[in-house]
């Protein structure tokens, strides 16, 4: 009995030892390690799946944002066929002081324009540095249609081709429309002995440099040069500070002649002063009795056109909308407003304006540079 118990104890001990040894070193540990590795791989896979899902979600958000921006841009650019402009006030920078010819034209046009557009068009005068500062503001504005301006072809060309301090070029602007057509006239002083162009030219040729011609500003030097060249004469130009001072000296007989804008024609007629000619290709609608120098045989043409402009890169859809609004205005209030202030209401847009400016700027570049 004791022997049997001892034998069973030995067998049990051996079995227990074997079981312990197998559990520590063999299959159980291996299965557990595989299970652990599998768990980690499973976690990684889950994490990867979550990461992929998160990344996909982020891309979805980005795509949605891009889609929203694209949709908004499309709507703003007229993707539905309608451009959502204007939605607020429009600023119109006039590059001249209040009360002058450029200011008067701008207000005669922008007043009916704001009625047609349904939003205020606020005129801001900035004639600093002869208008150069105002032009710089227009050129630097965003091309969204909310900053427009009014200046003339003569003004911008004189700065670009004749001023060392000019920091903009002609291509820095979008030329939307020509608003009027005007030009300079040659006016004799009150009581002048020269009542015809032939008499004036004959005296000037016999007395080179003796005839003094008053100029409202340096801009009229171009008109004087064209006149001297075409007539084969030499005169002496005297630059004044504005047309009103020139006119006053002509009335007082203090200077032989003056080159003035067409808006002075009515006043000159009232004073009985002689106007020898208009420096345009055709007569003005507002003053049909004043002959051009062209029809009298002298190639003198220096047209001045006030223009509605903006910074470069204004979308064509927006330009077209402004053009359409202006055409409506020129069938009524804009036309009447311009005629009231003595300006010829000539609206130029599109190819007509482009062709005019191409020829005009080429002529000024040759003469001013």
- pLDDT tens digits for range 91-128: 999 999 888 889 999 999 999 999 999 999 999 999 99
Classified by CATH at the fold level, domain 184-296 comes out as: D-Maltodextrin-Binding Protein; domain 2 (3.40.190)
Q: Where are the domains of the chain?
A: 90-181+304-368, 184-296
CA angle, 341 then 345 then 346, to 5°: 150
Using DSSP bridges, classify how beta strands 121-125 and 275-278 pair: parallel, antiparallel or unpaired.
Answer: unpaired
Residue range 126-145: mean pLDDT, rounded: 95
Q: Is residue 291 pLDDT above 50, yes or no?
A: yes
Q: Does an H or E element contain 174, and which? A: strand 173-178
pLDDT number for residue 81: 57
Residue range 277-305: mean pLDDT, rounded: 95
Q: Does an H or E element contain 258, and which? A: strand 257-261
Q: Is residue 158 pLDDT above 80, yes or no?
A: yes
- Token duo for residue 163: 């001023």
Residue pair 233/208 in contact by the 8 Å Cβ criterion: yes
User: How far apart (Å, rounded) are the C-alpha atoms in residues 160 and 153?
Assistant: 11
User: How far apart (Å, rounded) are the C-alpha atoms in residues 209 and 212?
Assistant: 7
pLDDT number for residue 343: 92
Beta bridge partners of 350: none
% of the chain at pLDDT higher than 70:
78
pLDDT number for residue 242: 86
Q: Is residue 12 pLDDT above 60, yes or no?
A: no
Average pLDDT of every residue of the chain: 83
% of the chain at pLDDT higher than 90:
69
By CB atoms closer than 10 A (0-12, 13-18, 19+), residue 220 is: buried
Of 310, 328, 329, 330, nearest to 318 by C-alpha is: 310
Radius of gyration of the chain (CA): 41
Q: Note if the bond before 200 is cis, omega within 30 degrees.
A: no
pLDDT number for residue 83: 78
Out of 13-22, 211-220, 230-239, 302-311, least confident range:
13-22
Q: Is residue 48 pLDDT above 80, yes or no?
A: no
Count the alpha carbons within 13 Å of 320 in the hemisphere toward its beta carbon: 8
**Better pLDDT: 257 or 19:** 257
- Strands (E) in 118-159, as ranges, are 121-125, 147-152
Q: Is residue 76 pLDDT above 60, yes or no?
A: no
Of 345, 353, 313, nearest to 329 by C-alpha is: 345
Report residue 311's pLDDT band, with 50, 70 and 90 as the boundaries: very high
pLDDT number for residue 101: 84
Residue range 353-364: mean pLDDT, rounded: 96
pLDDT number for residue 71: 32
User: Is the CATH number 3.40.605.10 carried by domain 90-181+304-368?
Assistant: no
By CB atoms closer than 10 A (0-12, 13-18, 19+), residue 369 is: exposed
Measured CA to CA in angstroms, residue 154 lies from 66, 98, 162 at distances of 45, 19, 11
Alpha helices in 77-131 (DSSP H): 101-117
**Domains 90-181+304-368 and 184-296 agree in fold:** yes
Residue pair 215/259 in contact by the 8 Å Cβ criterion: yes
User: How far apart (Å, rounded) are the C-alpha atoms in residues 115 and 86?
Assistant: 12
**Better pLDDT: 166 or 20:** 166
Out of 50-54, 85-89, 243-247, least confident range:
50-54
Residue pair 183/262 in contact by the 8 Å Cβ criterion: yes
Helix (H, G, I), strand (E, B) or coil at 134: helix
Q: Is residue 72 pLDDT above 70, yes or no?
A: no
Residue pair 274/194 in contact by the 8 Å Cβ criterion: yes
**Better pLDDT: 47 or 311:** 311
pLDDT number for residue 368: 86
């Amino acid at each position: 009995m004791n022997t049997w118990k001892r034998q069973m104890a030995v067998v049990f001990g051996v079995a227990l030892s074997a079981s312990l040894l197998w559990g520590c070193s063999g299959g159980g540990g291996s299965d557990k390690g595989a299970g652990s590795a599998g768990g980690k791989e499973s976690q990684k896979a889950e994490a990867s799946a979550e990461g992929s899902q998160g990344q996909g979600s982020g891309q979805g958000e980005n795509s949605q944002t891009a889609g929203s921006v694209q949709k908004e841009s499309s709507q703003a650019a007229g993707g539905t066929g309608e451009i959502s402009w204007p939605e607020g006030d429009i600023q119109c920078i006039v590059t001249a002081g209040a009360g002058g010819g450029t200011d008067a034209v701008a207000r005669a046009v922008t007043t009916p324009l704001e009625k047609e557009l349904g939003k205020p068009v606020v005129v801001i005068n900035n004639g600093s540095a002869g208008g150069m500062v105002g032009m710089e503001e227009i050129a630097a504005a965003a091309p969204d249609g909310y900053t427009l301006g009014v200046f003339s072809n003569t003004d911008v060309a004189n700065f670009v081709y004749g001023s060392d301090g000019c920091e903009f070029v002609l291509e820095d602007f979008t030329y939307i429309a020509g608003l009027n057509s005007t030009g300079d006239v040659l006016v004799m002083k009150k009581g002048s002995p020269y009542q015809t162009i032939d008499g004036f030219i004959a005296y000037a040729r016999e007395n080179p440099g003796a005839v003094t011609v008053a100029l409202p500003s340096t801009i009229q030097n171009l008109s004087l040069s064209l006149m001297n060249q075409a007539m084969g004469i030499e005169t002496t130009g005297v630059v004044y500070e504005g047309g009103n001072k020139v006119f006053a000296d002509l009335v007082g007989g203090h200077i032989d002649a003056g080159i003035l804008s067409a808006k002075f024609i009515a006043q000159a007629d009232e004073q009985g002063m002689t106007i020898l000619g208009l420096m345009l290709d055709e007569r003005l609608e507002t003053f049909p009795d004043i002959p051009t120098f062209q029809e009298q045989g002298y190639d003198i043409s220096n047209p001045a056109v006030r223009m509605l402009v903006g910074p470069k890169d204004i979308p064509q859809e927006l330009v077209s909308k402004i053009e359409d609004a202006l055409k409506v205005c020129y069938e009524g209030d804009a036309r009447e407003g311009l005629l009231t202030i003595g300006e010829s209401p000539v609206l130029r847009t599109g190819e007509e304006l482009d062709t005019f400016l191409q020829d005009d700027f080429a002529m000024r570049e040759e003469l001013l540079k």
